[in-house]
Amino acid sequence: MNDSGALLPWLVIRQDDNGNRYRVGRYATRAEAQKVVDVFEDRGHKQLYWVERIGQADGSPAATSRN
């Protein structure tokens, strides 16, 4: 049995205006996940997006965001 967390350990998280957080996707590398965040930000999405590694989320977007 495969642990998909080991294969896709990087998450893109979105936080809406009400503070609700949602997983946008899972990715194999941090760079791949960051590209997704960059696309959303470049398109002018108003929500907050960031990258987290599974099992190491500290609830602080600034810790893993490029902003």
* CA 10 to mean position of chain CA atoms: 7
Question: What tokens appear for 13 in the block?
Answer: 């998280």
Distance CA 54, CA 10 (A): 6
Residue 61 has pLDDT above 70, yes or no: no
* CA 34 to mean position of chain CA atoms: 7
**pTM, entire model:** 0.73
pLDDT given for residue 57 in this prediction = 61
Categorise residue 59: left if φ over 0, alpha if ψ from -120 to 50, beta otherwise.
Answer: left
pLDDT given for residue 3 in this prediction = 54
pLDDT given for residue 62 in this prediction = 44
Q: Is 59 helix (H, G, I), strand (E, B) or coil?
A: coil
Reported as a single tens digit per residue, the pLDDT across 6-56 is: 799 999 999 999 999 999 999 999 999 999 999 999 998 788 999 999 987
